[in-house]
Amino acid sequence: MTQAKAKSAPGAKDAISILTEDHKKVKKMFMDFKKLMNSEDKKEVEKSLLVKRICEELTVHMQIEEEIFYRAVRAAIDDDDLMDEADVEHAGARDLIAQLDEMEPGDDHYDAKVTVLGENVDHHVKEEQDEMFPKAKKAKLDLTALGAQMLERRHELQAGGGASAGKKNARAA
Ligand SMILES: [Fe+2]
Ligand SMILES: [Fe+2]
């Protein structure tokens, strides 16, 4: 791999490792939710906090993928069907996130919505990791430069610069 260019700092992470780490983190959070669901007590406060974190993580993850990674990959690989499918799956996830944003644990279908969101994300992640990422690697994209751009954008978004990931993300300025 000889794609490092002037822009990438030493030790910089490549785009695929960043996204794969996010996937693991989110998967673990969905597993934690399942544990809360199976607990004897209702665990409503814990559920509510966890689901907010899941939705924020996913929202930022999808946004940096779309703005930076997907855009570059779509241009570099000849597979619009694969990329279109990923877009539609993101839209489906956003729809459930928007519904959950209006809900509280204990509401009708709350647990089911979180569960289905987790199942959909699982399916989507599998397609990214098994199909999209190998194609991106083959296409010889500058994954280190893309990784740096994604981290920068993530910091912006987490500082309140545009992810509609919930009200508690107050603008920092
Ligand atoms: Fe994605
Ligand atoms: Fe992803």
- The CATH number given to whatever domain includes residue 93 is 1.20.120.520
- Ligand number nearest CA of 89 is 1
pTM: 0.86
C-alpha dist (Å) from residue 95 to 55, 86, 99: 11, 14, 6
pLDDT one-digit tens code per residue, 89-148: 999 999 999 999 999 999 999 999 999 999 999 999 999 999 999 999 999 899 999 999
| Residues around the ion ligand 1 (C-beta < 5 A) | 65
Residue 170 lies in a domain: no
Separation in Å, CA 113 to CA 71, 90, 97: 29, 15, 9
Q: In total, how many domains does the chain have? A: 1
The model's confidence at residue 171, banded by pLDDT at 50, 70 and 90, is very low
**pLDDT value of residue 12:** 76
User: Of residues 9 and 125, which shows the higher confidence score?
Assistant: 125
Q: Mean of the per-residue pLDDT values for the chain?
A: 90
CA–centroid distance, residue 81 to ligand 2 (Å): 17
Contact 13, 6 (CB under 8 A): no
Per-residue pLDDT tens over the stretch 63-73: 999 999 999 99
Structural domain includes residue 6: no
What is the gyration radius of the CA atoms in the chain, in angstroms?
A: 17
Range of the domain at 70: 15-158
CA of 9 relative to ligand 1 center, distance in Å: 25
